[in-house]
Amino acid sequence: MSAATLISGLLAVEVPYWASAIIKLGVVALVVPTAALVLGYVFLLKMMSFMQSRLGPMEAGPYGTLQLLADGLKFIQKEDIFPEKADRAVFALAPLVVLVSTFLIYVVIPTGPDAVVAQLDVGIFYALAVSSLSVVGILMAGWASANKYALMGGLRAAGQLIAYELPLVLAVMGVVIQAGTLDLQKIVAAQANGEIFGWGGIGNPFILTQFVGFFIFLVAVQAETTQPPFDMPVAESEIVGGYQVEYTGFRFLFFFMGEFGTAFAFAALAAVLFLGGWALPWGDLTHWGFNIAGPAIMLVKVLAVSALIFWFRFTYPRLREDQLQRLAWKFLIPLSLVNIVVTGIFKVVL
Amino acid sequence: MTAVGADQRQQMAYVATQAADARLNVEVETEGMTLNIGPQHPATHGTLRLVARLDGEQVVEAEPIMGYMHRGYEKLAEVRTYPQVTTLINRIDWLGSFANEVPFILAAEKLMEVEAPPRAQWIRTALFELSRIANITLFLGDMAVQLGALTPVFMAFRDREFVLNQIEAVTGGRFHPNFDRIGGLKDDLPQGWINDTKQAMEKIRDFCDEFEELVLGNEIFEARSRGIGIVPPEVGLSYGLSGANIRASGVDWDLRRDGHEALAYDQVDWKVWTHPDGDSFARYWVRLQETREATHIVDQLLDGLPSGPIMAKVPRIIKVPAGEAYAATENPLGEMGYYIVSKGDLVPFRVKIRSASFSNISITPWLLKGVYVPDIITILASLYFILGDIDR
């Protein structure tokens, strides 16, 4: 079974390879902006407003639901400004690199037994690898802007993303050891079919055994997506937006979409790795109906994880760059190593 | 509260400076970078410009450049009659406007040898404290937003509104009341105002409790502000720091208690808060305690408000006799004083304004040596200046 058969099944015709590739591309190209819009609206506009005793947007559409579309239109209308001394080609390319890295993560996230763009044997490895591509784009933006604030932001982002790549990967290792596979589909299956001390009532969502890993994963995701308390690369009150400072119009929009799209993708990864993904522990996992129910189940879990991520974002102040590095190297990495060792011991003993 | 000893504090500051110098001179042969912070920058509350010489993310030296908002109030005051001057000086520290008027009026009253009746003095003091609360609540939210926490500043704006409403109910102006007169006040209190104000004070106390938990109790806030920007008391005094900035360094000096102006502070029971550490955290802490103390002062003043007239006998056209007088009060930002020279005209011959922020900001070159770029923001935020108060 694969995505190609799902598409063939849905359309009731044999779909050639090129057509299915185009459809997949279209799905990813639709999902990323939609995800960014949903997160941006639900959390950035509404949840944040309610936490700050205000209403947020109320005029554009019912309860302001269309506000971000209006903002997007506005961004597209804006003049595309290049700073005089900017490296034009690199400057123009940087937001695209960031956005592409976001798009690439979505390729492997499963939302049903067949509803996945590409089922890779090394799915989680691939996802973490392409997610770190965004740092290249951010460095490009920081350097090409010919702005001191942008340069500082870019360098901070590079240091931060490299430091937090490690706890992110190590946190996932625990899950991989427990499931015995890097394939995201099989990780989902392992959780749905798992048992807790011989009782399989709710399967075995890995958050129960890998809660340390889940915690480290969330912290690292917060740093990867440069959200407070780890938003030094953009730090509005210090370096006034960091690497984004010279960007206007749709290029700025790309950064915005990249930020929220990545947050959504990481929340989806967390849902797959720790919360059981698209599956429910009851019922036949190969049942065709999961292709319809799976995305909905996923969305609920993703929103739950994103709520956590954004809750931190709105409440915490910002750390300093050296404090951030200390947290990564002296606390998170040792902790995740201990987590791996303990998981390994349990795996061997049980 | 763990207090760092004075010797240790000095030593730490000394080591940091030495380290920065040594790194630039010996170890690193790189060129360094000059960073212009401001005049348009979100952390400078207006138009302060800071030229920082950086080595990586460490500041080698920083120099504040002011004057982008200079409006020439001292000169303008020379062509305005005494009652007109208050309109002008309202705009110095625009968050605590009423507090700006008081020292000027007190100095003018000294020259004219009139004294406001007791009721006017008490109401004056109460309004003075209300403008202090309005001013400092905003600082409490603003410093958090400078450190990256977005939510507190909205809460500060929300709760400041209770105080502004009360000020507006008396004076008719939210920001620029222009209410103080030589010899008393423009009007008496409106009906029901005392009860409303007491309720507002209750809300401000809740606000203080909330912020003590939300901001002061936050580990990241503590990590960012403790030990950052330490001002030893003798250095602070030599730079002319005043207000909460110097009290946070452990100097027990408050013009409300130690000054000699005709205000009602000696009639109520209150406390001067100090903190031994002298760092950014201490400055925030002291201001939070002072806000709460101010609500108690207002409560007591309103309880014991004497009856009587609110205006002394002063001529319709105010001519101030020749002479010189200085009056200073403890404004939200620190000591604010007016030195008036009169030649017996309708207008003052010369007015010298001593504003707190001007002195408070002068310590920044000393303080910013050897800190990291994010700490610049912490230190500037914790020193709490208002551009109108620097440039006048």
**Look-up of token digits 């292709």:** A291
Residue percentage of chain B with pLDDT more than 70: 92
Cβ neighbors of B86 (< 8 A, separation 6 or more) are B101, B104, B105, B178, B180
Residues of chain A contacting B, Cβ within 8 Å: 48, 51-54, 148-149, 152, 228-229, 231-232, 235-240, 314-323
Touching check for B147 and chain A: CB below 8 Å?
yes
Report CA B28 to chain centroid distance, whole Å: 41
Q: Do A238 and B373 touch (CB under 8 A)?
A: yes
Cα A240 to Cα A3, A144, B377: the distances in Å are 44, 17, 12
CA neighbours within 13 Å on the CB side: how many for B375?
Answer: 28
What are the structure tokens assigned to A285, written together? 């996992």
Cβ-contact B302, B198 below 8 angstroms: yes
Q: Do B57 and A321 touch (CB under 8 A)?
A: yes
Task: Give dist(CA A124, CA A118) in Å, integer.
Answer: 12
User: From the list B43, B57, B223, which residue is nearest A323 (CB)?
Assistant: B223
Touching check for B4 and chain A: CB below 8 Å?
no
**Residue B271 C-alpha, separation from nearest chain A C-alpha, in angstroms:** 31
**Residue A347 C-alpha, separation from nearest chain B C-alpha, in angstroms:** 36
Q: Do B154 and A48 touch (CB under 8 A)?
A: no
Coil/strand/helix, residue B363:
coil
DSSP codes joined into one string, A48-97? HHHHTTS----SSSGGGTTHHHHHHHHHHHS-----TTS-HHHHHHHHHH
Task: Please give the average pLDDT of every successive group of 10 residues along chain A, which has 350 residues.
Answer: 59 69 77 76 81 82 82 86 84 88 85 76 86 86 86 85 86 86 83 71 75 88 83 79 84 84 88 83 71 81 87 83 85 89 82
- Residue type (1 letter), A100: V
26-65 in B: which are within 8 Å (CB) of A? 33, 35, 41-43, 57
pLDDT at B36: 80
**Residue B164 C-alpha, separation from nearest chain A C-alpha, in angstroms:** 18
Residue B178 — pLDDT band, cuts 50, 70, 90?
A: confident
Domains of chain A, by residue range, sit at: 81-349
- Chain A residues with CB under 8 Å of B43 CB are 237-238
Mean pLDDT of chain A: 82
Task: Give dist(CA A75, CA A68) in Å, integer.
Answer: 10
User: From the list A51, A232, A316, which residue is nearest B220 (CB)?
Assistant: A316
Considering only CA atoms, give the Rg of chain A.
Answer: 21
- CA torsion through residues A281, A283, A287, A292, sign: negative
Task: Give dist(CA A149, CA B41) in Å, integer.
Answer: 11
Q: What length does chain A have?
A: 350
Coil/strand/helix, residue B328:
strand
pLDDT in tens, A301-333: 888 888 888 888 888 888 888 888 888 888 888
Q: Do A318 and B374 touch (CB under 8 A)?
A: yes
Report CA B309 to chain centroid distance, whole Å: 31
pLDDT in tens, A200-218: 667 777 777 788 888 899 8
Give which of A126, A129, A116 is closest to A20, Cα–Cα.
A116
**Residue B206 C-alpha, separation from nearest chain A C-alpha, in angstroms:** 16
pLDDT in tens, B298-351: 999 988 888 888 888 888 888 888 889 999 898 888 888 899 998 888 888 989
Range list of H helices, A78-144: 88-106, 123-131, 134-144
Mean pLDDT of B124-133: 90
Cβ-contact B283, B384 below 8 angstroms: yes
- Chain B residues with CB under 8 Å of A315 CB are 149, 151
Considering the entire predicted model, what is its pTM? 0.81
Give which of A88, A40, A243, A273 is closest to A161, Cα–Cα.
A243
Report CA A23 to chain centroid distance, whole Å: 22
Cβ-contact B86, B105 below 8 angstroms: yes
Touching check for B146 and chain A: CB below 8 Å?
yes
Task: Give dist(CA B230, CA B249) in Å, integer.
Answer: 8
Q: How crowded is residue A10: how many other Cβ atoms within 10 Å of its Cβ?
A: 12
Q: Is B33 exposed, middle or buried (0-12, 13-18, 19+ CB in 10 A)?
A: middle
Cβ-contact B72, B351 below 8 angstroms: no
Cβ-contact A278, A110 below 8 angstroms: yes
Q: Cis link prior to B39 (omega < 30° from 0)?
A: yes
Element (H, E) at B51: strand B49-55
Phi and psi based region of residue A56 (left: phi greater than 0; alpha: psi -120 to 50; beta: remaining): left
Residue of B211, B220, B226, B379 to mutate for A, most A C-beta atoms under 10 A: B220
Cβ-contact B332, B132 below 8 angstroms: yes
What are the structure tokens assigned to A319, written together? 């750390």
pLDDT in tens, B15-27: 666 666 555 555 5
pLDDT in tens, A223-269: 888 887 888 888 777 778 788 888 888 888 888 888 888 888 898 88
Residue of B31, B373, B382 to mutate for A, most A C-beta atoms under 10 A: B373
